[in-house]
Amino acid sequence: MQRASRLKRELSLLATEPPPGITCWQKENQLDELRAQILGGAETPYERGIFNLEIVVPERYPFEPPKIRFLTPIYHPNIDSAGRICLDVLKLPPKVRAW
């Protein structure tokens, strides 16, 4: 229940106050499947590019990050050939603190 209300609140915020160059919406009214579009940044190799993304929100959100995949082909060292973000830091287990 908290997950659904948080997602609705975050989607509402994205609709009313989107970050510059980013739009995000629900796919077919499903709360856990989203689509997004990012405009390439000025003065970068991606300038004038329009990049479509698929976002899947896991059941354990916000304790587990969404799975994001570029649907638009993109060349970037941290994006694999299937469009998935491949940063090891996103896959590390939580650190256990020894006191």
Each residue's pLDDT expressed in tens, for the chain with a length of 99 residues: 688 889 999 989 998 999 999 999 998 888 889 999 999 999 999 999 999 999 999 998 888 889 999 999 999 999 999 999 887 666 656 566 666
Query: What is the reported pTM?
Result: 0.81
Q: CA-to-CA distance for 13 and 41, rounded, in angstroms?
A: 22
The pLDDT, as a whole number, for residue 65 is 86
Give the tokens for residue 51: 């990049």
Domain positions in the chain: 1-90
Q: Domain 1-90, what architecture? A: Roll (3.10)
**Where in the sequence numbering do the catalytic residues fall?**
86
Give the tokens for residue 5: 């209300």
